Structure 1
Amino acid sequence: MKTLISAVGGAAAVAGCVAGLLWLGPSPARPGATAPAAATATTTTGTDNAGGGSRDRDTAGSGSGDTVDAARRRTEAYPDDPTAWTVLARAAIERARTTLDAGPLDTADQALRRSLALDGSRNYGAVTGLGMLANARHEFAEAREHALRGTRMAPDRPDAYAVLADAEIQLGHYPAARAAVQRLLDIAPASAAYSRAAYDLETHGRPTDAAIALRRAVDSAATPDERAFAEARLGDLLGSGGDLDKAERHYQRALDAVPDHPYGQAGIARVTAARGETDAARALYGKLVARTPLPQFLLEAVEVRRASGAPGLGGEGAALAAQVRLARADGGPVDPHLALYAADHGDPQVAVELMRREWQHTRGVVVADALGWALHRAGRSEEALPYAVRAAGTGWRNALFRYHRGAIERELGMPEAAGHLREATALNPSFTPPPPRAERND
């Protein structure tokens, strides 16, 4: 049995498609939450219904719509086959992932309930499907329970370990996540396993090893979506270290695999902005957020607008403000980018409110960083510092995390502040600090 160290050159991992990158909508099971509703490009919450709640088109080249249609036809032909309903659920979850649209999750929920009604005893596919669905809805503790049940049912099948890895990383259980990914690599060393390994390697301060894992994810990709995802992540990894030319090449490869791939498009816009071509970057972001208004993309567009010297926050700022209002109202998952927007350009107290709520469900380093920064912007730096320290606990060489920690320490008069602030720029020469408090539009 190969260890993860020999398999990908480093410690182990998690991340990926469902848990770390997508924010697909509140779970109906969470008290006070509402199901994702149809929304316009300026009113979606997180990636809830990104691109429009009623959208029925798929990311170009994904083919997930065809898969859902084929699975649905199978349930019509064999309505008493529990496996047919599980296949439909998984196809719907995959469609939600590739389109960044939460709508198909309702289809998945109904299909899984039907599958379990037909076979509630040893239905591994439905159990792991429930875990995938819970992860997509940010019910990570619930996802973990389904995943553990799946590993007990079939210790040598990979799906439950993927679900478990995604849940554990979001719960902040990094050793458990590493063990799950190691097992996944042992059973099925393919693109999904290598992508998760890459995230953990990066999160634990090993970007070179993470790049090796992502290249293996590209080489072992079985679908255009898997290839595009791994290529875009390679672009992110290289871009975060300041290598814009290589990052651009990988983003373009993501777009070659899946035209209009949103993370490929965002990467090209990000590189363009980092080169100082703010007008061109604004145009690219404008096209991107018109069809995929994720908080991350909208916030990046706001920052590019600020860098260009344009007044105000524009339509992207209005869209983010609307998403913040929806997030406060629906009680569901909160994309940390919404909290960063509220902290830097809106009401920091609202940012604290949102991230405290998310912290009840998600204890990963990304949420720790966002909560710490929100508290700092709200004038509560002493309370913020433990979260900033926790965000740094895995050793992630993340310029934004370093800057946030340094700014909090500077506010508290701590001598190590200057070193952390210098490290932010050293890690990524393209890094731009958040606006001073005086520039916020409360």
Structure 2
Amino acid sequence: MENAERAAEERTAPEEAAADDAAPAATGKVSRLRRRLLVGSLVGCLALGGGVLLCLPGGDPAVRRAAAPAPGAQAGTAVRTGVPAALPDLAVLIDERESRVRAHPRDARSWAVLGTAYVEQGRRTADAAALYPKAEQALRTSLKVRPKGNAEALDGLAALANARRDFRAALSFGEAARKLAPKRWTTYPQLIDAYTGLGDYKKARKALDSLTALHSGPTVRARAAGVYWDRGWREDAQAALADAAAGASSPAEQAAWLERAGQLAWERGERADALRHFQEAVRIDPDQRAAQAGQGRALAALGRTSEALNAYQVALAKQPSPSYALELGELYESLGLTQAARVQYDLLRERVRQDAAGGVDGELVLGRFEADHGDPASAVRRLRAEWRQQPGIAVADALGWALHRAGDDKEALRFAMIATDRVHGGAMHSAPYMYHRGMIERTLEREGPARRHLQEALRINPYFSPLLGPVAREAVARLGGEPAPAELPE
């Protein structure tokens, strides 16, 4: 039995991933398309989490549920391949691997899986202070036990660094893993995240090309959607996310891709469509807190304020993310509830402080907060340092806005252009980025560009902020329409 378990453990990541992409959900839920195919055939063959190909007569749901992998096995396959895992399954996996490494302290693979599971649990619960140090310890123990050829531990360390927003470290670990095993496809998603965080979008696209050449399936489609999104290819991103959600192998994975599709619909200003995606994600996986916060965003835009406040509060109760606290605080502020807003802003500061104990870089969200609700000069200092360390588009936008709020509009415009001009890399269609650039240009009395960019912000998403959307509309009204063309001389 022990030898069989070890043999199963030593399967390669690509083999595990191929099985995972085809496995049915643990609860027996499958997509409508897959259900039709199963019902329409006399014999359906399913690849299960243990690498076993099982042929089922007629696709009986009861048989599918009985044949589904155990929660720990399913979560193990998920974390090894970078797929979102259900929180209860993660807890089972962590218990199993903790027991395993206590009994077999030199099992490098189990240490690596345990560390990566801690990363995923920390990401899903926002308990970075407790879980990320444990993740690092487990992953480094794996490397200590097996210092050579341990790409799995290096992948886990790259995932941990990305979760901490330490993109340089993520790139270093990812490149080391790629050098060890260039055909190990699970490394490339970590490289995509690292390159994107560092603002190197060309290399992110190359990493995606390498990924798609090595592997296919819903995980790869979801990763492709992120790259398409950053390039401004919103229709392609939307199609890729739809494919990923339809082909997902578990409820947690499907809910994650639906949540991202909701984010994309929100970015396009499609508030009702975004809400449908977020609601379906929460229905499938009640622990999908990002989708619950997304519901708050969409409900507020639809004027359903009480429901929006409740959705944010539910998300924050289980995943107290600083960005959710900032959104809820601004919603309260837009309603004139300044004391309630201050409570959320205090929570934001406290969560950033706690996350820092887990190694998380919270300077971006803290800089955004300070620019609008605190000390703009402090925001500039924080974001300048962040820009020197990891010059991504999100940091360029935040730094430009902080400089504007601190009164330095000429330098602010330079960073706003980086965030919005295709020439500089800012291809993503973002209403907040366009709003920031338009307001900076308005202060500099560049009325034509200001009018154009503020109107573009409202075209992309008129509901982008309950606090700043009305400011944008008022600014456009004050700027007036386009001036009439000058008459040519006779």
TM-score above 0.5: yes
TM-score range relative to shorter protein:
0.7 to 0.9
Q: Distance in 2 between matches of 1:330 and 1:124?
A: 23
Please tell me the residue identity of whatever aligns with 2:210: R
Question: Partner residue of 2:118?
Answer: 92
Larger Rg: 2
Structure 1, unpaired ranges of 5+: 1-57, 437-442
Please tell me the residue identity of whatever aligns with 2:460: L
- Candidates 407, 411, 421, aligned match of 2:439: 407
TM (normalized to structure 2)? Answer: 0.72
Question: Partner residue of 1:72?
Answer: 98
Q: Distance in 2 between matches of 1:255 and 1:366?
A: 27
1:135 aligned onto 2:162: yes
1:101 aligned onto 2:127: yes
Structure 2, unpaired ranges of 5+: 1-83, 472-490
1:370 aligned onto 2:398: yes
Q: Does the 8 A contact of 1:191 with 1:220 survive in 2?
A: yes
Q: Does the 8 A contact of 1:59 with 1:98 survive in 2?
A: no
1:388 aligned onto 2:416: yes
- Candidates 422, 436, 442, aligned match of 2:455: 422
Question: How many residue pairs were aligned?
Answer: 379
SS of 2:389's partner is coil
Alignment of 1:333-372 (within 5 A): 333-372=361-400
- Offset at residue 78 of structure 1 (A): 1.9
Q: Does the 8 A contact of 1:324 with 1:342 survive in 2?
A: no
- Offset at residue 321 of structure 1 (A): 4.4
1:280 aligned onto 2:307: yes
Listed one character per residue, the Cα deviations across residues 13-49 of structure 1 (whole Å, up to 9, x for unaligned) are xxxxxxxxxxxxxxxxxxxxxxxxxxxxxxxxxxxxx
Q: Distance in 1 between matches of 2:427 and 2:164?
A: 28
Listed one character per residue, the Cα deviations across residues 348-370 of structure 1 (whole Å, up to 9, x for unaligned) are 11211221222233211111111
- Offset at residue 326 of structure 1 (A): 7.1
Q: Distance in 2 between matches of 1:283 and 1:132?
A: 32
Please tell me the residue identity of whatever aligns with 1:122: G
Distance of aligned partners of 1:229 and 1:319 in 2 relative to their CA distance in 1, 3 Å threshold: same
Question: Partner residue of 2:38?
Answer: none
- Candidates 97, 101, 122, aligned match of 2:149: 122
Question: Partner residue of 1:210?
Answer: 237
Question: Partner residue of 2:344?
Answer: 316
Listed one character per residue, the Cα deviations across residues 45-82 of structure 1 (whole Å, up to 9, x for unaligned) are xxxxxxxxxxxxx9975521111111112212322221
Q: CA RMSD in A?
A: 2.4
Q: Distance in 2 between matches of 1:61 and 1:107?
A: 17
Q: Does the 8 A contact of 1:295 with 1:335 survive in 2?
A: no
Listed one character per residue, the Cα deviations across residues 296-348 of structure 1 (whole Å, up to 9, x for unaligned) are 21121122212223244242133234456778999961253322221111111
Greater CA drift, 276-285 or 101-110:
276-285
Distance of aligned partners of 1:59 and 1:261 in 2 relative to their CA distance in 1, 3 Å threshold: farther
Listed one character per residue, the Cα deviations across residues 271-308 of structure 1 (whole Å, up to 9, x for unaligned) are 11001222332233233323322122112112221222
SS of 1:75's partner is helix
SS of 2:222's partner is helix
Please tell me the residue identity of whatever aligns with 1:104: L
SS of 2:232's partner is coil
Distance of aligned partners of 1:284 and 1:123 in 2 relative to their CA distance in 1, 3 Å threshold: closer
Q: Distance in 2 between matches of 1:237 and 1:177?
A: 19
Q: If each structure's helix is expressed as a fraction of its own residues, which one has the higher value?
A: 2
Q: Distance in 1 between matches of 2:359 and 2:133?
A: 18
- Candidates 225, 246, 250, aligned match of 2:277: 250
Q: Distance in 2 between matches of 1:59 and 1:155?
A: 25
Identity %: 38
Q: Distance in 1 between matches of 2:147 and 2:167?
A: 22
Q: Distance in 1 between matches of 2:87 and 2:140?
A: 30
TM (normalized to structure 1)? Answer: 0.80
- Offset at residue 196 of structure 1 (A): 2.0
Question: Partner residue of 1:241?
Answer: 268
Question: Partner residue of 1:50?
Answer: none
